[in-house]
A and B are shown apart, each in its own frame.
Chain A
Amino acid sequence: MIEPSSQLSGEEEILIEVTLNGRRLKRRVKARQHLADFLRQEMELTGTHLGCEHGVCGACTVLIDGHTARGCLTLAVQMSGKCVDTVEGLTESGQLAELQEAFITRNAAQCGFCSSGMLLTAYELISSNETLSRGEIRECISGNMCRCTGYHAVVDAIETVMTRRGKHQK
C-alpha cells in the first residue's frame, strides 16, 4: 500500500514496505531517491557502490526478487513489496562465501570498488548451475566494469566455482 504524502514544492516522501537482506522494514523514502542511494544513505549499507549513476558500470548491482538489477536505475519507492539483497546481506547469509573465497584466493579484485557488483552478478550466474566456457563467463560479466584487474583473474575465480559445483552435480 502506497500513499503519496506531500506537495511538489517539498521532497515527496512515500511509505514503503520492503524486505531488505531478509528483514522486513517500513520506511518513508524520497520519491526521487534511487535504490542505491537509499541503501547507502538511509540504510547506511555502503557496500553497494556508485560508479556512474547511468546504468553502465554495474558497481551498484543488487538483487531484486533474486535477480540482479542496477541500483541506480531503480527508484527506492518501486521496492515496496519486493525483496532486496545487497552484498552485506549475502555475505551475512553465507550465500557469497564460495565466490568470495575463490575471488580472494585468485586475487580477483584489487581496489574492490567493482567487487560488490561483480560478486552479485557472478552469484546470479553460478546459481544457474551450468558450467560455462570462459567466453560465456566473460559475456555474463560484460556489464560489470573493472578498471584494475583486466578481468582474467575474475573469470578464473568464477570458472573455479562453476567447475567445482559441476563436479558435485555429477
Chain B
Amino acid sequence: MKARNFRYIRPASLHDAYQALAENVGDAVPLAGGQSLLATLNLRLSAPKLLVDISGLCELTGESYGDGVVRLGALTLHRQLLGSKLVKKHVPLLARAASYIGHVAIRNRGTLGGSLAYADPAAELPACAVVLGATIEVGGLQGEREVKAEEFFKGLFETDLRPGELILGVRFPIQQKGTVIGFDELSRRRGDFSLMGLAVMATMQQGRIGKARMVYFGSVDRVRLARSVPSVVEGLELPLQSNSPFEAAVRKDLDAEDTIGLRASTKLQLATVLTRRVLNSMTGATV
C-alpha cells in the first residue's frame, strides 16, 4: 500500500499556493494535515501528480474574536479546538464535537479546513459549521469569496470549492445568550466515524424548545440541515417522553437510503432516538 509517485512543492506564500494549484488544475491537490489525503494515497484511491503543501502557510493560521464572531484559520488543528479558550468560551459546540474526532494522534495533525474540504458526511466539523451558521472563507487565483456553510456541502465528498481554491478560514457566530447546544453521535467503536450523529443549537424558554437549528450527520450522503424537525419540536416541553411527535419529520429530513449493513429504516431509528436524547440533554445549561 505504497502511494503512487507524485511531485511535491511547499509554496512560501498563499499566492504561490494559488498559482501552483491553478497551473496544475486537475493534477494538483493541497496537503494540510494529510489525515484523510494520505490514507487515500496509500490505498491508491487517488492519483494526484502534485501535492501542494499548504501546512506551513501562516496566512491560514490563527484565531481571532470580534464583532460577535470567532474566526479560525483553516490550519487550526482539531487539538487546538479542544484547547482554545476562545472556542471554549464562545463556540463551545466546536470543543465538544472535537473530542469525538478520531483519536489523539489524528487530532494532532488534522485541520479544520481539511475536514471541511474533505466533506465526509460522517465527520463532526462540517455538521458543526452548518449548525452554527458559519461562513467559510475561500480563496484562489481568481480572488477570494465566502460561502455559507449550509450551501458549502453539496454531496458525498463534494463541496462548493472550485478547482484551485482553498479554504482560508471559517467565521463562527458566537453562541448567543439563551441558546443551548447539544451534540451526540452513535458509532460502533470510540473514535470511529459515526453511524448517526446530531448537532443542535436551540433557544430554550422555560424548559421548552424554541427555535432550533439541527444537523444530522453520519451514514447520509451529506450533512443534513433539518427543515422539518425543528418546526415540529418547537414549543415542545423537555424532557420528551416519546419519539412519535417528530418521527415523520426525521424521515423527511434524513431522506436516507439503504446501504450495506444499515438499511434506511435503521438509520431512521437511530436518528429518531438521537433526536430525543440530544434534545433531552439540552435542559439546564444555557450560555
Contact = CB atoms under 8 A, between A and B. Distances in A.
Given A8-B49, A121-B105, A73 B8 contact: no
Nearest to A54: B39
Given A8-B49, A34-B3, A77 B8 contact: yes
B10 interface: yes
Nearest to B53: A78
A58 B103 contact: yes
A37 interface: yes
Contact of A4 (B9, B49, B189): B9
Interface string A138-168: 1110110000000000000000000000000
Nearest to B79: A67
A145 B10 CA distance: 33
Given A8-B7, A31-B7, A78 B34 contact: yes
Contacts of A4: 7-9
A131 interface: no
Contacts of A139: 190
A66 to B, nearest CB: 10
B141 interface: no
A17 interface: no
A73 B39 CA distance: 6
Contacts of B34: 73-75, 78
Interface residues on B, range: 20 to 34
Interface string B79-95: 10000000000000000
Q: Is the interface of A mostly helix, strand, loop or mixed?
A: mixed
Contacts of B42: 34, 53-54, 72
Nearest to A67: B108
Interface in B39-79: 39, 41-43, 49, 51, 53, 55, 79
Nearest to B99: A139
A142 B191 CA distance: 7
A62 to B, nearest CB: 9
Interface of A: 2, 4, 8, 11-12, 14, 31-32, 34, 37, 53-55, 58, 61, 64, 67-70, 72-75, 77-78, 80, 121, 124, 138-140, 142-143
Given A31-B7, A138-B190, 10 more contacts: A8-B6, A8-B49, A32-B6, A37-B2, A54-B39, A72-B42, A75-B34, A80-B10, A142-B189, A143-B103
Which 8 A-B residue pairs are closest in the complex by CB-CB distance?
A143-B103, A31-B8, A67-B108, A142-B190, A53-B1, A54-B39, A68-B105, A73-B38
